[in-house]
Amino acid sequence: MCDRVREGILVGCGNPLLDISAVVPLNFLQKYSMNEDDAILAEDRHMPIYGELVEGYQAEFLAGGSVQNSLRIAQWILRQPRVAVFFGCVGEDRYANILKEKAQAAGLDVHYQVKKDVPTGTCAVLITGTHRSLCANLAAANNFTIDHLEEPSNKALVDNAQYYYISGFFLTVNPPSIMQVAATAHAKQRPFLMNLSAPFISQFYMAPLLAALPYVDIIFGNEAEAQAFAEAQQWPSGDLREIGKRLVAMEKKNPTRPRIAILTQGCDPVLLIQQDSVQEFPVTKLAVHEIVDTNGAGDAFVGGFLSQFVQGKSLDVCIRCGNYAAGHIIKNPGCTYSGEPEFV
């Protein structure tokens, strides 16, 4: 059983999205010029995807959105409600109700900004074997504004937290909010954690990413995201360990707490990079028949990590719990869990 932690100790901001998930043939991806394991923002040409999935592929509707997923998973493992607070923007519709219901059922304390007349965001999840390709139509999620964080009750929640987590995905929506949360974390000397989220973030949002990075105490990413960052920085080596070492050595506002990078690589070991040291944490490889889908695996890893980090556990325990959570989520549809957590 976990030690009790203070309510609201963890605050996250992100895009609340309802996932519309289906198993599709490869030519479905080709039709929309998508690759296996993409994560992209929908353009006009992608808009028919959502209807097609519902009409032709028995799509399932699942709670999604990267940060909200991580916080739901952290809540599941903690078994103590309202440890985590989530901010994001939704519409005033049925999808928003579903998201809120699922988040609250997990124990997450959601404080959505509501944008009337704009639909809640959705994400097409195209499953091909053990791969998942994501196409997000942010819709209402793209309307998040910093004034939501400045409302007195929300500002109090941000001020009272001890740990802050924001995705790289949120850089596409509202960098000023990210900078404000980062500055709060810095002023109070509290950890600020971020995720590289997807290769396109490093490719197209490097400027706001570089503005936030000096505040980041722990950076998460997978191998493709780390490599996209390295390429965008024109670093000579594609070696993950080298990339991690360079990432942790980049400018940091609070040099007394050196940056940590945690890089996942599917079923290969997780790398923990601190200054010049690289440690590996093995991942239990699942048999193909155990895999339902890999959607949400990276988010669940972060959720498991956060559930221990907010309890002040060692990085070793945090990463083991991340691996446990990711393994569990892969055996379930989307970023959902079943039964009680079994992490000890």
Is 19 in a helix, a strand, or coil? strand
Which of 2, 28, 60, 66 is in the footprint of ligand 26A by CB under 6 A?
A: 66
| Residue from 5, 9, 13, 19 in contact with ligand 26A (CB under 6 A) | 19
Q: Is 335 among the residues that bind ligand 26A (CB under 6 A)? A: yes
Site string for ligand 26A, 24-53 (x = CB under 6 A): ---------------x-x------------
Q: Name residues whose C-beta falls within 8 Å of residue 242's C-beta, 6 or more positions apart in sequence.
A: 235
Closest CA to 222 of 168, 184, 155, 275: 168
Nearer to ligand 26A, 228 or 248 (CB): 228
Phi and psi at residue 234, to the nearest 5°:
55, 40
The answer to whether 209 contacts ligand 26A (rule: CB under 6 A) is: no
Q: Is 168 in the site for ligand 26A (CB under 6 A)?
A: no
Which residue's Cβ lies closest to ligand 26A?
64
Binding residue (CB under 6 A) for ligand 26A from 12, 14, 221, 327: 14
How does strand 218-222 pair with strand 192-195?
parallel
Residues 6 or more apart whose CB falls under 8 angstroms from that of 298 comprise 66, 195, 220, 222, 264, 326
Total of residues contacting ligand 26A (CB under 6 A): 21
Q: Which is nearer to ligand 26A, 134 or 157 (CB)?
A: 134
Q: Name 164's bridge partners.
A: 11, 192
Using the rule CB under 6 A, which residue among 134, 140, 262, 283 binds ligand 26A?
134
* Phi and psi torsions of 274, nearest 5°: -130, 120
Residue 69 sits in the site that holds ligand 26A (CB under 6 A): yes
Write each residue from 104 to 123 as x if it is in contact with ligand 26A (CB under 6 A), else as -, in one continuous string.
-------------------x
Q: Which two tokens stand for residue 119?
A: 């639909």
The contact mask relative to ligand 26A for 295-324 (x = CB under 6 A, - = no) is xx-xx-------------------------
Active site residue 3: no
- Of the candidates 37, 44, 299, 316, the residue annotated as catalytic is 299
3-state secondary structure 202-232: HHHCHHHHHHHHHHCCEEEEEHHHHHHHHHH
Do 137 and 121 form a contact (C-beta atoms < 8 A)? yes
Q: Establish if 60 lies at the interface with ligand 26A (CB under 6 A).
A: no
Axis crossing angle, helix 66-78 with helix 94-105, rounded to the nearest 10 = 30
Active site residues: 299
Chain positions contacting ligand 26A, by CB under 6 A: 14-15, 17, 19, 39, 41, 64-66, 69, 123, 134, 136, 138, 169, 172, 295-296, 298-299, 335
